[in-house]
Structure 1
Amino acid sequence: MSDEFIFVYGTLRQEFALPVHDLMKRYCQFHDQGSLCGHLYQLDSYPGVVESTHGRCRVHGELYRIINKDELFLLLDDYEQCSAKYPKPHEYVRKQIDITVRDGTVRQAWVYIYNRAVAGLARIPSGDYVAHLRGFGKVRYNAG
């Protein structure tokens, strides 16, 4: 059985130190920093990513090796409101896409992709949600 990965680019990143990140620590193991080909948008108090075919548009985040896939997705699909408990169309869909890590290696990883129109949403040009919020003094760092 080969390893499976999940890529997180928003509030699930360790820099936010939110309680939901405990799911990542419980059911995953940090692998590396990485990026995907896409655009990042500010939705409400969280971001959404849409895929792009333009290779220069990168969204940055963290890649984790999944330890317990069933438990992880049971809980994260609820957090992202894309489980069967929520009406369709969901705001996010979970799918596997290519993630490039720092050494240039490409891995397939699960990513929550924004599933609605982006017209009228503010694009985050840096593609890095932590850096974006850091500019507003809104990121509380996790000391651990």
Structure 2
Amino acid sequence: MDYLFIYGTLLMQENPWGMYLSQQSEMVCQAKLSGFLYDAGEYPGAIYVPESDSYIYGSVMTLQNPDEALRIMDQYEGFGSEESQPNEFIRRKLAVKSDIGPLTCWVYLYNWSTQGLSRINSGDYLKFRFENT
């Protein structure tokens, strides 16, 4: 089973890419990833810090057609050798803590410097967006 942990704009139904993902996958559970979340302007950036007591909150999706879905999501996230280098986001398989236990998921992580970016202390992008609109 291929899982994708989403924590940012893909959670928003008004986002066409999020709508695509909701049609091509199924939400499994809520989850959290150790690390920090930053406001990169129009979207958040997650930095994985395995030993952190801080978390990034999101949802785990099960991908019905993983190769196709990840190819589409890679385009959205600007990940791949054909994209400008270094990629702003990289895709890694990481363990997340979920409502149903630990799961290994694909996660898009922010790959650029966070210098000058504001940290989203709650680790919850949707809550941050709601409070800042």
Q: How would you bin the TM-score normalised by the shorter chain?
A: over 0.9
Structure having the higher helix fraction is 2
Cα gap change, 1:84 to 1:53, in 2 (>3 Å):
closer
Offset at 1:5? Answer: 0.3
Equivalent in the alignment of 2:46: 49
- RMSD over aligned Cα, in angstroms? 1.3
* Partners of 2:55 and 2:96 in 1: CA distance: 10
User: Paired residue for 1:110, among 78, 95, 106?
Assistant: 106
User: Paired residue for 2:3, among 2, 5, 11?
Assistant: 5
Equivalent in the alignment of 2:97: 100
Alignment gaps of 5+ in structure 2: none
The answer to whether the aligner puts 1:88 opposite 2:85 as a matched pair is yes
Decide which structure has the larger Cα Rg and report it. 1
Equivalent in the alignment of 2:128: 132
**Moved >2 Å (runs of 4+):** none
Aligned residues with identical type, % of pairs: 28
* Partners of 1:16 and 1:30 in 2: CA distance: 13
* Partners of 2:121 and 2:36 in 1: CA distance: 8
* Partners of 2:18 and 2:129 in 1: CA distance: 17
Alignment gaps of 5+ in structure 1: 138-144
How many positions carry a matched residue from both structures?
Answer: 133
Offset at 1:4? Answer: 1.2
* Partners of 2:13 and 2:23 in 1: CA distance: 16
Give the alignment of 1:52-91 within 5 angstroms. Answer: 52-91=49-88
